[in-house]
Structure 1
């Protein structure tokens, strides 16, 4: 394969470093802005190429020794080669790049709120089990890399990993994947014996119960700031919380709206949302099990002052944003874990007469290129 020398100019969406050599635009994973590298091209199409690092000729000032011994082999983290301030700066650039290219939106530098701890923060994990091997997929592979300890996991989850490894070594696990979640007190595994147990998280005075298999934000250290920003400053008669999960945003919204309707496709999550509302004495929230696209096309979605949506990484279903635009809510709060999907949808909303009042990002996923962004819009 062809080998080239180049300098990484910046970090772009998907966490790749971008550099230029021999008339090619080359994307390189696991790089840091300012690195001088020797790379081997792994893929080329016309003037675009992808490469892997063969040698770091001159390290960037941002480059550090990764805190995890599995980094580079494990397919999980892809930012551990950068110090934490550089990670935050890269995420700000990634969001700005996506907004400009896909949304035609040119904002000043996007603020990224730092995680209080860039390690030991993660409260959820999914491990692959192959015989006595327990870990994550190897980078760019479906092979499993055996992991004894993961530095981004909360301490209770590393305890859980040890338990799963012990069960696998004794042959008592007959499954190929284990989901795990933890709060400050305990961990729960998605095994037949443990899945009926609940975990709990306190957010802005509300107590939420969830399971290891139900969606809940993985970084509890930033949840309160995220929820406060996404729901703050809104009030009125009716709000919709789309992709509501277990009611994380629904319950705070209920304090400032006469009625809040949470919409969620998962039957497990919707039952937990109802239970969480009842346990917290929230009587003005109702929950509908439905696809979001179907609900926003129904009469029940009409006359909302605010629509808050928090879609999965794959984004909203095709046609959903167009239906939200037809509803003409006074305000929209869009929570997104994919800047490209957010930019795509913001472009539609701005063309329909909405303006961005505020936009802020939250680093829920340190050591990876992923980032949570919240855009708050109003109808102009």
Structure 2
């Protein structure tokens, strides 16, 4: 019998979906239950029934989990920024570990456990970058699964100085009647407020506008300078396209500097507005330390770092390798990477190339570069098939895959497996506490065909029982 929308059913919460939603099975159908915790017994109200699954909310919680806690944010039920504030951090880590293992198994076809998940010491105020959407409803965050902006004075994921900058900009817009951007019509001026901070508490402020000029710009600069002593610069980004892409391609410095310095893994990096940099500095150091260990560097290796950004992983690897070649498609990021290598005394051990990862990987292959290790840290969409093919042709003994999306990671590991790479080890690092995102590091090794055949021949010579012959062979 099909589930009916609006009707209440008893449910047992078995596990979690990729976005942290509880998962139950009712009359043979998977039901995603908002705000549920694994192990709970509840009466749930069906909101929507699809072809293969249904969505519901808790009507009555009959047996709450010991891991359930009261959310500490008044906006949690409406805001789409966090997904795990209704459970303990320990339970959140369990859910994230399960998510990665499920993706490796279902999408990657791998029986590969996540041997460790590294939780954060600090789950509050850890974000070093925020991009506030601006609309007629205010400056804040999108309501879950919508583009409706919820005006939020302070977010627990952001440092206090971000809230201060947000309020200054909101007051300035009100005082001078600066029109906010209207996504549906494409009219209005201010689209986003972008803030970047560092461990020293310094702030770089950028306004993304739907126009070429910002009225009363000097008044905004003076208001920010007066309220935020640690402000280092105010930048304007021009984006007049009707698009969901936040940053424009044209930048103007209104005051101060258009970059911010940050220290990571003992290196100092210069960050411009469009430069990619992980948003949780302490946990990024954990992530990169795991990547270096997986790479197994001894000081003699050639490393290729695809999607290198401003060179954060490249410079970390260069400390332990003979040389590193970094590849990135964003021109400004490549310039930052070269400058970062120079400032950290690693210019002679690094080379940075600007262009598409698949094309430049092919170029390196044609140059005869034979890397010992290739590191990939792609965006959420993962690797293009031709990048996987080129990496396999270059045949590095080890590939270290740093992923921000378990689903595309699982898909890509399956592609690597078909080309002779074995996924040997996986660990997760939580860079995004209280949200559904999680980072994963996987070590892949090139299958040694000759060695594999030799082992098989030796086994054939032995008098094995049928049961023994099914034992997995370590390669």
After TM superposition, give the deviation of residue 137 of structure 1 in Å: 0.8
Matches within 5 A, 1:212-223: 212-223=273-284
Whether the aligned pair in 2 keeps the contact of 1:77 and 1:367 (CA below 8 Å) is: yes
Q: Tell me how many residue pairs correspond in the alignment.
A: 380
Structure 1 residues 262 and 34, CA, compared in 2 at 3 Å: closer, same or farther?
same
Residue of 89, 92, 99 corresponding to 1:94 = 99
Whether the aligned pair in 2 keeps the contact of 1:339 and 1:373 (CA below 8 Å) is: yes
The C-alpha deviation readout for 1:32-85, integer Å capped at 9, x for no partner, is 112223333233234421223344333221111112110020011111111100
Whether the aligned pair in 2 keeps the contact of 1:133 and 1:168 (CA below 8 Å) is: no
CA distance in 1, matches of 2:60, 2:82: 20
- The equivalent residue for 1:71 is 76
* Partner SS, residue 156 of structure 2: coil
Whether the aligned pair in 2 keeps the contact of 1:120 and 1:151 (CA below 8 Å) is: yes
The C-alpha deviation readout for 1:192-248, integer Å capped at 9, x for no partner, is 861343222212221111134321000112121111111232243421111111100
1:230 aligned onto 2:291:
yes
The C-alpha deviation readout for 1:104-153, integer Å capped at 9, x for no partner, is 11133541101111111111111011147100111111111000000011
Structure 1 residues 279 and 178, CA, compared in 2 at 3 Å: closer, same or farther?
same
CA distance in 1, matches of 2:356, 2:439: 22
- The equivalent residue for 1:187 is 203
* Partner SS, residue 202 of structure 1: strand
CA distance in 1, matches of 2:361, 2:388: 9
1:202 aligned onto 2:263:
yes
Structure 1 residues 322 and 71, CA, compared in 2 at 3 Å: closer, same or farther?
same
Bigger mean CA offset, 3-12 vs 346-355? 346-355
1:309 aligned onto 2:376:
yes
CA distance in 1, matches of 2:260, 2:389: 37
- The equivalent residue for 1:259 is 323
* Partner SS, residue 390 of structure 2: helix
- The equivalent residue for 2:228 is none
Whether the aligned pair in 2 keeps the contact of 1:263 and 1:289 (CA below 8 Å) is: yes
* Partner SS, residue 411 of structure 2: helix
Whether the aligned pair in 2 keeps the contact of 1:266 and 1:289 (CA below 8 Å) is: yes
**CA RMSD, 1 decimal:** 2.0
Residue of 366, 380, 390 corresponding to 1:323 = 390
CA distance in 2, matches of 1:343, 1:301: 30
Whether the aligned pair in 2 keeps the contact of 1:131 and 1:169 (CA below 8 Å) is: no
After TM superposition, give the deviation of residue 168 of structure 1 in Å: 3.2
When normalised by structure 1's length, the TM-score is 0.94
Contiguous gaps of at least 5 residues in structure 1: none
Structure 1 residues 93 and 133, CA, compared in 2 at 3 Å: closer, same or farther?
same
After TM superposition, give the deviation of residue 353 of structure 1 in Å: 2.4
The C-alpha deviation readout for 1:335-360, integer Å capped at 9, x for no partner, is 00111111111122233222334321
Bigger mean CA offset, 273-282 vs 295-304? 295-304
- The equivalent residue for 1:376 is 443
CA distance in 2, matches of 1:32, 1:319: 40
CA distance in 2, matches of 1:200, 1:132: 33
Bigger mean CA offset, 297-306 vs 9-18? 297-306
Larger radius of gyration: 2
Residue of 281, 303, 318 corresponding to 1:239 = 303
Greater RCO, CA 8 A, separation 6+:
1
Contiguous gaps of at least 5 residues in structure 2: 181-188, 209-232, 236-256, 448-475
1:147 aligned onto 2:211:
no
